[in-house]
Amino acid sequence: MLTLDARLLAWIVAHRVHALDGFMLTITSVGRGGVVWLAIGAAFLAARRMPLTAFLSLALAILTATLLVDHALKPLVGRARPFETRGHIEIIGARPGRASFPSGHSANAFAGAVVMARAVPAWSAAWWTLACLIAFSRLYLGVHYPLDVAAGALCGLACAAFSLWAIARIDRDGVNGSGRRGDS
């Protein structure tokens, strides 16, 4: 499986279209830390096209994806980046310092896409396209393996599901859990 993972990355890198290099660098920068999703969510919230609970779900999804991937799984797994283990993988842009597995960009992108698709379904195609572009940019730039990106996407999906459930439950039950707002 890991051999196939490395071969697929090598194939992607070997078939780059250099006219896309700048675009992929931009997409990866936009996707860093999930900030693009929070900015989009804030814009939809300000335009009253998204409820506050959906924005809170988005923020929680991004936060949990970041904590899970960057602060729990990456240090636990410790997978080396492709450019550290495969000398023939030429990267575009900066060399990330953290471990490779799973991809934080992918986790945040898919967490954001799930919540935004639920909150603003008319734009679902845009949310999923952006998430896939952010995830693919990590492969194109040579800084992640395909399994890193796939695992990051799965983490993002799980974090989004958790955040949607948690915020809906808080909204339904109230902060104190009694089902009645304001009771102590």
Q: What global pTM score does this model have?
A: 0.90
On whether residue 6 sits in a domain, the answer given is no
On whether residue 152 sits in a domain, the answer given is yes
Tell me: pLDDT of 38 over 80.
yes
The tens digit of pLDDT for each residue in 149-172 reads: 999 999 999 999 999 999 999 888
On whether residue 21 sits in a domain, the answer given is no
Cα distance between residue 140 and residue 143, in whole Å? 8
pLDDT the model gives residue 180: 54
Looking at every residue in the chain, the average pLDDT score rounds to 92
How many structural domains are present in the chain?
Answer: 1
pLDDT the model gives residue 90: 86
The tens digit of pLDDT for each residue in 102-135 reads: 999 999 999 999 999 999 999 999 999 999 999 9
Q: How many CB atoms lie within 10 A of CB 144?
A: 29
On whether residue 158 sits in a domain, the answer given is yes
CATH number of the CATH domain containing 73 = 1.20.144.10
CA dihedral sign of residues 50, 55, 58, 62: positive
Which range marks the domain in which residue 126 is found? Answer: 40-173
